[in-house]
């Protein structure tokens, strides 16, 4: 695997982390570097209160969900990419834009943000089941517009496959294709990342960020660097290698029939003519075949973190899906 491909894979698996790190001015994550500097002895971290609510999903676990906007016939649900940052901050700009005209929810998967950790080995189907349970508990059983970013694109496709009657439409934001994840090279990269996280967690103090962060860092960002959250990120990487063979092929996470699909891909790239970018664009185009009613939108001013960098594009796509018949 070339250096450019490796860097691309790392960034995509990290979901919105690179853009948020740049915006927040925080140092590289422990995922990217195993060198961890403990916080200063005088530093006191206080876990922030959840902005949404903790919903019981059974087995003594709670999932954090935050919903905004007027109660409407259609509910929009945003599924995060693979990142340690809470959905509240990562997808907040897009959620706020959609909330002006629709009911829209973000949530934290098990162990991330304010959600309780999983009690069994994490799988993608278990993630889908957690979302189903929290939506059922909130009486949000459809119709749904599912917005999946990066790895979250695979999860919303799986949700639509398992609960087709609930899903009106799907939006894929620079979504990860099966072809990218299930190669020997991708597995080797994931293994290295898991090892780096593990190195960063050794000797970490529960409830305390594993590395020194600049003065004034938002408590929500500090939450993202606690060992509990980073351990959940590690489990999400490991979950990729638990995906059954039947789901590793093209279309393995499900096709959408005639359900409306909008594929939104990034338009801002460092090297638009590189083989890596050309391959990524081809994969995004190929996803149009997942539905007989699909179209492509290019977020010209955004990189991979489309929901954070160009929320108006996502909001307009969702508005059109809700209002069209």
pLDDT at position 279, please? 92
Phi-psi region of 33 (alpha: psi -120 to 50; beta: other; left: phi over 0): beta
**DSSP letter for each residue of 67-101:** EES---SSEEEEE--S-SS-HHHHSHHHHHHHTTT
Give the 3-state secondary structure of residue 294: strand
Please tell me the predicted confidence (pLDDT) of residue 123: 97
pLDDT of residue 15 exceeding 70, the answer is: no
Q: How far is CA 162 from CA 132, 207, 230, in A?
A: 10, 36, 29
CB 135 within 8 A of CB 160: no
Q: What is the pLDDT of residues 283-313, one digit of tens each?
A: 999 999 999 999 999 999 999 999 999 999 9
Buried b (16+ CB within 10 A) or exposed e, 229-249: bbbbbbbbbbbbeebeeebee
Query: What tens digit of pLDDT does each residue of 184-207 get?
Result: 999 999 999 899 888 889 889 999
Q: What is the pTM of this model?
A: 0.88
Q: Which range has the worst mean pLDDT, 11-25, 62-76, 105-119, 222-236? A: 11-25
Peptide bond into 267 cis (omega under 30): no
Residue 217 above 90 pLDDT? no
Tell me the C-alpha distance between 45 and 38, whole Å: 12
pLDDT of res. 213: 82
Residues facing 257 on adjacent strands? 291
Q: Kindly list the strands in the beta sheet with 167-173, ordered across the sheet, starting from the edge strand earlier in the chain.
A: 53-58, 61-68, 103-107, 75-79, 144-149, 167-173, 261-266, 294-299
Tell me the pLDDT band of 153, cut-offs 50, 70 and 90: very high
Among residues of the chain, what percentage have pLDDT more than 70?
Answer: 86
Q: Report percent pLDDT > 90 for the chain.
A: 71
**For position 22, what pLDDT does the model report?**
37
- Could you tell me the sign of the dihedral formed by the alpha carbons of 128, 129, 131, 136, in that order? positive
pLDDT band at 6 (very low <50, low <70, confident <90, very high): very low
> Which two structure tokens, joined as six digits, stand for 237?
């990487």
Which tokens in the block code for residue 155?
């999860």
Q: What is the mean pLDDT of residues 126-131?
A: 98
More confident site: 282 or 28: 282
CA pair distance 305, 325, nearest whole angstrom: 29
Q: Over the stretch 36-68, which tens digit does the pLDDT of each residue have?
A: 444 443 357 888 999 999 999 998 999 999 999
HSE value, Cβ hemisphere, 13 Å, CA-based, for 94: 32
* Cα separation, 247 vs 243, whole angstroms: 7
d(CA 315, CA 264): 12
Of 29 and 256, the structure prediction assigns the larger pLDDT to 256
> Is 142's pLDDT higher than 90?
no
Q: Rounded distance, CA 292 to CA 14, Å?
A: 30
Structure tokens at 80: 């995060």
Band the pLDDT of 12: cuts 50, 70, 90.
Answer: very low
Fold for 52-323, please state it: Rossmann fold (3.40.50)
Least confident of 23-27, 44-48, 110-114: 23-27
What is the Cα–Cα distance from 6 to 8, expressed in whole angstroms? Answer: 5
Answer whether residue 218 shows pLDDT above 70: yes
Would you place residue 24 in the very low, low, confident or very high pLDDT band (cuts 50, 70, 90)?
very low
């Amino acid at each position: 695997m070339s250096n450019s491909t490796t860097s691309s894979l790392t960034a995509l698996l990290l979901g919105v982390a690179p853009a948020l790190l740049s915006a927040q001015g925080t140092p590289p994550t422990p995922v990217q570097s195993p060198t961890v500097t403990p916080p200063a002895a005088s530093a006191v971290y206080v876990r922030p209160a959840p902005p949404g609510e903790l919903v019981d999903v059974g087995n003594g676990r709670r999932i954090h969900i935050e919903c905004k906007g007027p109660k409407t016939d259609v509910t929009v649900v945003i599924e995060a990419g693979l990142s340690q940052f809470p959905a509240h901050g990562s997808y907040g700009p897009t959620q706020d834009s959609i909330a002006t005209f629709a009911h829209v929810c973000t949530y934290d998967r098990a162990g991330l943000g304010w959600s309780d950790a999983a009690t069994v080995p994490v799988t993608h189907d278990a993630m889908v089941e957690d979302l189903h349970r929290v939506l059922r508990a909130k009486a949000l059983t459809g119709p749904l517009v599912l917005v999946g970013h990066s790895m979250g694109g695979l999860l919303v496709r799986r949700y639509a496959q398992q609960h087709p009657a609930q899903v009106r439409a799907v939006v894929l934001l620079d979504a990860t294709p099966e072809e990218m994840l299930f190669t020997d090279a991708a597995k080797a990269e994931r293994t290295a990342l898991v090892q780096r996280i593990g190195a960063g967690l050794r000797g970490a103090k529960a409830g305390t960020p594993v590395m020194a962060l600049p003065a004034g860092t938002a408590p929500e960002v500090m939450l993202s660097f606690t060992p509990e959250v980073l351990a959940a990120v590690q489990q999400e990487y490991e979950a990729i290698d638990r995906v059954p063979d039947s789901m590793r092929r093209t279309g393995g996470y499900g096709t959408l029939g005639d359900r409306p699909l909008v594929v939104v891909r990034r338009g801002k790239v460092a090297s638009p003519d590189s083989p890596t970018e050309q391959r990524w664009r081809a994969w995004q185009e190929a996803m149009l075949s997942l539905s007989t009613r699909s179209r492509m939108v290019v977020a010209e001013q955004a990189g991979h973190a489309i929901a954070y960098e160009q929320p108006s594009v996502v909001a307009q796509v969702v508005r059109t899906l809700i209002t069209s018949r």
